[in-house]
A and B are shown apart, each in its own frame.
Chain A
Amino acid sequence: MAAVLAVSATVGPGVAACGSSESSAGGKPTLTWYINPDGGGSDPTKKGQAQIAKECTDAAGGKYAIRVQLLPNSASDQRQQLLRRLAAGDSGIDLMSIDPVFVAEFAEAKFLAPVPHDMVAGFTADTVKAAVEGATWKGNLVAVPFWANTQLLWYRKSVAKAAGLDMSQPVTWAQLIKAAQSQKKTIGVQASRYEGYVVWINALIAGAGGQIVENPGATADQLKLGLETPAGKEAASVIQQVASTGVGGPALSSTTETESLNLFSGSDTSGFLVNWPYTWAALPTNGVKFIDDIGWAKYPETVAGKPSQPPFGGIELGVGAFSKHPDLAYDAAKCITSPAHQKLYMLGTGNPAANKTVYDDPAIKKQLPMAALIRQSLDSAAPRPQSQYYGDISTGLQREFSPPDSVNPNSTPAAATDLITSVLKGNALL
C-alpha cells in the first residue's frame, strides 16, 4: 500500500502528463484545455465547452488550436487531477476550467500563470461581482471569470398555495419546513458528505450574516473560523430542523443534486428544492409532467428579514503556470469568455453567464424565464470561503456536519472549529 500510494503520489502525475502534445501536424501550437464535463461533453457540435474550443480555434486563424480534455464529474475529483498534474509541473495543461473554490489553493501554490495586466480590465468588465472575487487572490486577478452559478428556490405553486405561503415575498427556511411538513412534501437539499453540502452550509451561515473564514488568505496557524457564532448556530439549527422533521427526504445523508432533483420530480414527494438553474432543463428530461406548476424564487432566508445570500459556483478559466504558451492561452481565454460565447454556453447548457450583458439578450430571456432572478441572485451571492486550505476546511465541515440528523447547534459548530483548526496545524487526521 505504501508503495502504491507513493507511486501514485510522486511518479503518477509525471507519467500521466505525457499525453499532451505541443504542436499539431500543421506546426501551429495546440493548447490543451481541461474542461469539466458539461452538457456538450467533448462533442464540438453540442454547444458546450468543446464547441467553444472549436469556434475559437477557427477564429484564431491558425495562431493556435484548442484541444479539450475531459475532467472527472465531481468538483473534488477535478481538483485532484489538476492538482496532481500541476504539482508534477505538467506543461500539457494550457487552460483549465476550475471551480472558484480551488482558485485560491492553485494561486497560492503558483500553479496559475499571471494574468497579463492589459487584459485584466477586459476580463472583469460587466462581470458579476462574485465571479470576479472568485477569480481574485490576494488582490490580483489570477483567473478569468467564465460562467457564474447560483441556486434558486424551486417550488410547486400548488403546494405553496395550499400551505398559505406568499411566494412573491422572501420566504425563510423555517416557513418552508413548516409548509412541507403540513403538506407532507419534501424540500430537496444537498446533504450528502460532499462539496454540495458545504454549498448549503455556507449559504445558511452567510444568510445569517456570518462567514466560515473570518480572515481569508491567512496562514494555517492564523486562520480564524466563524462557525462558533450566532450565524453558525442559526445555520446548524436549520439543518437540524430539516433533518429532524424528515422534510429532507428518506435518505437525507446521501442526497446530492441528483437525488434532490429526483425528490422534486416525483409528483407525490415534490414540494420545494434548492438547486442550480440546470434544474429547469433537467425537469422535462426527468419526465416531469407538472412543469406549469413549477415556480422559482430567491434562495430562502436563514433569518427572517435578513436578505438571503444564495450560493455561488460556476467556473473560472485558469492558465497553467507550466504552459509553454501562456500568452496564446490568455488569447484563447479571451475568445472563450467573450459575451457571445457565454451566451452560446448559457443557451446550450443552461449554465449562467458571468457577464451581466448576456442577461439582456432576448434569446436568453425566452429560453430561461428566470434569467432576471438568476442575475439578481448572482449579485447578492456569497462565495464559499477563499483560502488556500479550502479543501481541508470543506472536508472538515463535511465530516462534522455528517450525518445531518446528528447536527446540533450547540455542539457541531464548535466540534467543526476544533477539528479544522487542529487539522490545519497538523495535529489531526482528516
Chain B
Amino acid sequence: MTTLADDTGRETAPPHQRASKARLSDRARAERALGWKLAGPAFIIMLAVTAYPIINALWLSLYNYRLTDPGARSFVFLRNYVVILTDSLWWAAVGITVIITLVTVAVEFVLGMALAMVMNKIVIPRRSLRTIILIPYAIITVVSAFSWKYAFAVDSGYANHWLHTATFGAFPVTYDWFGGTWSSLAIICLSEIWKTTPFMSLLLLAGLAQVDSALDEAAKVDGATFWQRLYKVTLPNMKAAIMVALLFRTLDAFRIFDNVFIMTGGSQNTSTVSLVAYNQTISRAEIGMGSAVSVLLFLMVVGICVVFVKSFKVDLAQVKGD
C-alpha cells in the first residue's frame, strides 16, 4: 500500500525508456519478449477466470434462460435490460445501495482518519495497536452480520436492554429494529462501519506516514491551526492514499450483500443491487435476467472507478513509480 500511496513522483522513468518509445533496441525487444514469456501464463489465466465469465455474462444477459427450463431458452436481445431499467424494484435497490455507500464511506473516512492520526502519533505500542484495530476487519462479514443481527433482535438481543437502561427506560425494550426500512438500514450501516473502518484507517495511515513531518512543522511555525494544517498540508499530501482508500471502500460498499442478506433478506425495502442480482441468478435460477443485473452492477462499478480516478486527478500508474 505504501508504494501506491507514494505520489511524490520521486522515481521518474529513466530517460532511455522514454526514448525507446520511438524505436526499440534489440535488448529492449528481448526484454519485452521475456516479459511476455514470464507474465504470459498469468495473463492467460486472468483472461480465463475474469474476462471469460464477464463476456459469458454479457452473452447470457441477452437470453431468457431459466436453469430449470433449458429447453425454453430464447434470445431476447436487450429485453432483460429494458425490464430491469423500467422496474421500480431496481431503482429502489439502486437508491438504497447509494444511501448505504454514501453513509458508510463518509463515516468510515472520518473515523478512519481519526484512528490513523492517533496511530501515527503513538509510537510505542503502534504495532500492537494496528493489530488490535484490525480485529473487526478479520471477522468474516457473515459472522459479523449475524452477531449484529442477534444483538439487536427483539427476543435474544441485548442492545435494546442496554439502550433501555441508558435512557432510563425511555427506549422501549421491544423495539423492532428490523421492522422498518430506516432502523434496519441503521443497523446494516453500523455493522458495515464497525467492520471496515479499520481497513480504511490502515490505508490512510500508510498515506499519513508518507507526509513529510517537516512540512507540518513549518506550517506550525508559521502559526497555522490544527485544522489549517490538516486541510492545507496533510490531506493534499496524501491525496493518492485517500483516493485509494475511498475508491476501495466505495466499490466494496456498493456491492454490499452479506449484511443485508443476513439481517433482513431484502425485506422492509432494504434490497441492494447485489441482492437483486442474487435473487434473479441464484434463487430464481433466471440466468439471463440475473446476468443482465450483474452486467449493470458491473457497469456502475466501472463508472465509480472512472469518476474517482478523473476527479482526484491521480495517475495510479505514476503513483506506483513505474
Contact = CB atoms under 8 A, between A and B. Distances in A.
B67 A430 contact: no
Interface of A is mostly: helix
A21 interface: no
B153 A251 contact: yes
Interface string B26-50: 0000000000000000000000011
B179 A403 contact: yes
Interface in A374-401: 388, 391-392, 395, 398
Query: By CB atoms of chain A within 10 A, which of B64, B83, B278, B280 has the most?
Result: B83
Given A2-B294, A251-B179, A259-B155, A429 B282 contact: no
B89 A5 contact: no
B277 A1 contact: yes
A182 interface: no
A392 B287 CA distance: 14
Interface in B156-212: 156, 174-176, 178-179
B316 interface: no
A111 B70 CA distance: 12
Contact of A426 (B49, B83, B265): B83
B282 A8 contact: yes
Interface residues of A, number: 45
B308 interface: no
Interface string B272-303: 00101111111111010111011101100100
Contact of A83 (B80, B264, B285, B294): B285
A5 B241 CA distance: 30
Nearest to B181: A403
Interface stretch (B7-15, B51-59, B124-132): B51-59
Contacts of B64: 426
Interface of B is mostly: helix
B176 to A, nearest CB: 4
Contacts of B154: 249-251, 254
A3 B57 CA distance: 7
A6 B267 contact: no
B297 A429 contact: no
B178 A428 contact: no
B179 A254 contact: yes
A1 B272 CA distance: 13
A76 interface: yes
Contact of A76 (B175, B268, B281, B283): B283
B25 interface: no
Contacts of B281: 5, 8-9
Interface string A91-129: 000000000000001101101000000000000000000
Query: By CB atoms of chain B within 10 A, which of A2, A5, A251 has the most?
Result: A2
Nearest to B268: A403
Contact of B294 (A5, A105, A254, A259): A5
B69 interface: yes
Contact of A262 (B90, B155, B294): B155
Contacts of B87: 428-429
A381 B90 CA distance: 38
B176 A2 contact: no
A402 B267 contact: yes
A393 to B, nearest CB: 11
Contacts of B58: 2
A80 B295 CA distance: 22
Interface of A: 1-11, 76, 80, 83-84, 87, 105-106, 108-109, 111, 192-194, 249-254, 259, 262-263, 388, 391-392, 395, 398, 402-403, 426-430
Of all A-B residue pairs in the complex, the 7 with the closest CB atoms, nearest first, are A250-B174, A193-B267, A109-B68, A2-B294, A6-B53, A2-B298, A251-B154
Interface of B: 49-50, 53-54, 56-58, 60, 64, 67-69, 76, 79-80, 83-84, 87, 89-90, 153-156, 174-176, 178-179, 255, 264-268, 274, 276-285, 287, 289-291, 293-295, 297-298, 301
Given A5-B281, A391-B285, 19 more contacts: A1-B301, A5-B277, A5-B291, A6-B54, A6-B56, A6-B60, A9-B287, A10-B56, A83-B67, A83-B68, A87-B285, A108-B68, A108-B69, A111-B68, A251-B154, A251-B155, A403-B268, A426-B289, A429-B84
